[in-house]
Amino acid sequence: MNAPAVNWFFTTLRSANPEPQTELVFASVFELLTAVLLSAQATDVSVNKATRTLFLFANTPQKMLNLGLTGLESQIKTIGLYHSKARHLLQTCQILLEQHSGQVPRTRAGLEALPGVGRKTANVILNVAFGEPTMAVDTHIFRLGNRTGLAPGKTPMAVELKLLERIPAEFMEHAHHWLILHGRYVCQARQPLCWQCALAPVCDFLPKNRPQ
């Protein structure tokens, strides 16, 4: 996909959805961090269902710690890997209180030092909470980058770096969400909806997969 095609790609996404938003429900940066930590290998729907109750009485690091491991696990047990996620979340809360005055750090280094927070999670927080032009490559973006020809790569890091290189600056703030939403609802894993995709004219995948 050449530069004019990339520009057309994102212009089209922006026209359809000028202000894309994460589908995770949160009311503070700490709630966002919690939701993103819980979302690994889980759907946003399942996370929102659990946090709807959790955040009513544990929406700060101290309140989360007050739940204790058993109490927290009981709130998130419907989410996959909830045992390890609960431990990581409580460890993170302790670090936030001891090292960051209860606030979520605004730097990549500070975020990635938190238990359970890797590069992808840090990128989400930096982008969604602080407006940084980062690219969190999840399974949707990895698939879409390779399938469309936008940013082919064998690893999430390779796709991320290529996306950062190729996406024009004017689109970077929202590019992460445009790509996730498009991968989630249109460029799906098992059966991409190519015949109704607005990006079809510049996609590498469509010509050999157009319904007859």
Of 68, 101, 128, which closes a domain?
128
Identify which of 204, 22, 16 has the alpha carbon closest to the alpha carbon of residue 127: 22
Residue 212 maps to a domain: no
pTM listed for this prediction: 0.87
Instruction: Classify residue 131 as exposed, middle or buried by CB count within 10 Å of its CB (0-12, 13-18, 19+).
Output: exposed
- pLDDT tens track for 164-187: 999 999 999 999 999 999 999 999
Same domain, 114 and 156: no
CA count, 13 A, side-chain hemisphere, 61: 20
- Check whether 207 has a pLDDT greater than 70: no
Q: How far apart are CA 33 and CA 129, in angstroms?
A: 9
For residues 161 and 120, membership in a common domain is answered with: no
**Which positions are catalytic?**
120, 138
Is 171 inside a domain boundary? Answer: yes
pLDDT band at 211 (very low <50, low <70, confident <90, very high): very low
> For the residues 68-85, what does the mean pLDDT come to?
93
Percent of the chain at pLDDT above 70? 97
The confidence score (pLDDT) of residue 40 equals 86
Task: Choose among 178, 26, 24: nearest CA to 104.
Answer: 26
Can you give the CATH number for the domain in which 46 is found?
Answer: 1.10.340.30
Q: Where among 99, 128, 157 does a domain terminate? A: 128
User: Residue 85 is inside which H or E element, if any?
Assistant: helix 82-99
- How would you class 152 by CB atoms within 10 Å of its CB: exposed for 0-12, middle for 13-18, buried for 19 or more? middle
Q: Are residues 100 and 149 in the same domain?
A: no
Own/partner pairs, 7-13, CB within 8 angstroms, 24+ separation: 7/168, 8/201, 8/202, 9/148, 9/150, 9/199, 9/202, 10/167, 10/168, 10/171, 10/175, 10/178, 12/198, 12/199, 13/171, 13/178, 13/179, 13/182, 13/198, 13/199
At residue 101, the pLDDT reads: 94
The whole-angstrom separation of Cα 12 and Cα 182 is 11
Last residue of a domain, one of 128, 161, 192: 128
pLDDT surpasses 80 at 92: yes
Does residue 54 sit within a domain?
yes
Question: What type of residue sits at position 144?
Answer: L
Show the domain range for 193. 3-20+134-206
Identify the CATH number of the domain in which residue 164 sits: 1.10.1670.10
Q: What pLDDT is attached to residue 3? A: 85
Residue pLDDT, tens place only, 3-61: 889 999 999 999 999 999 889 999 999 999 999 999 988 889 999 999 999 999 899 99
